[in-house]
Amino acid sequence: MQRVQPDVWETEVESPFPGLTVHAYLLVREAGNVLFYNTGHRHEIERMAELGGVAYQYLSHRDEVGETLTLVHERFGARLAGHLAERDDFARVRTPEILFDKRERHLDIIEVIPTPGHSPGSTCFLVDSAHGKRYLFTGDTLYRTKDGGWRAGFIPGHNTPEDRHTLAESLRLLKTLEPDVVFSSAFTGEAGFQELAPGEWPGLVDRALAELAGQEEESH
């Protein structure tokens, strides 16, 4: 693991299949560490033990389900959190103790923001860091690309035309937020996160929206 913010550690990169790379992120806090997304690296879970373990694990969507969910729970007693719409998908490995289906606040620092489109239960998390920054964890709703931009997590042939419109609405919601650092789960470039300049985020989301709309026009 490597520290990428004063209170955030990034797991070693994984490649579930060619062209896709992912990280998970551990938020270290006195009231109990929070793991966003999931990692299949067992040695990274042991590294988490050195950093104080995992009290909570928040999944952004069903693609993050893996056998290590059980390991994180058994190793640390971590409580799992995920969207109600994907409860059955999570339950293939472990049923979450914490389920949500609306925008709400958790642990006094995490704003849970459902953003369907990539999957029915896709969710983003806006976190108030004790160090004064706001972190946005976007899962695969928006992911970092190799050119340093951000792209909507729409997969032709997997997602439906209706998903495209649902995802666009989710992006418009994300555009209204004011994060200082954004962390995706999947990414295609050299890094899965970006520190933002003031006022930079809306433009990045607008470009993702424009590209999403352009894909629709090309399909007709």
pLDDT for res 216: 54
Confirm if 114 and 101 have CB atoms less than 8 A apart.
yes
Give just the sign of the alpha carbon dihedral 67, 69, 75, 77.
Answer: negative
**Which neighbouring-strand residues pair with 124?**
113
Full pLDDT tens readout for the chain, 220 residues: 999 999 999 998 887 766 678 889 999 999 999 999 999 899 999 999 999 999 999 999 988 898 999 999 999 999 999 999 999 999 999 999 999 999 999 999 999 999 998 889 999 999 999 999 999 999 989 988 887 788 887 777 777 788 889 989 999 999 999 999 999 887 777 777 899 999 999 999 999 899 888 765 445 4
**Cα distance between residue 24 and residue 73, in whole Å:** 16
Q: For residue 66, what are the CA distances in angstroms to 40, 76, 162?
A: 7, 17, 28
Query: How many angstroms separate the CA atoms of 88 and 91, rounded?
Result: 5
In the chain, where the domains are located: 2-219
CATH code for residues 2-219 = 3.60.15.10
HSE, CB side, 13 Å, CA atoms: give it for residue 34.
22
Q: Tell me the pairing of strands 79-83 and 56-58.
A: parallel
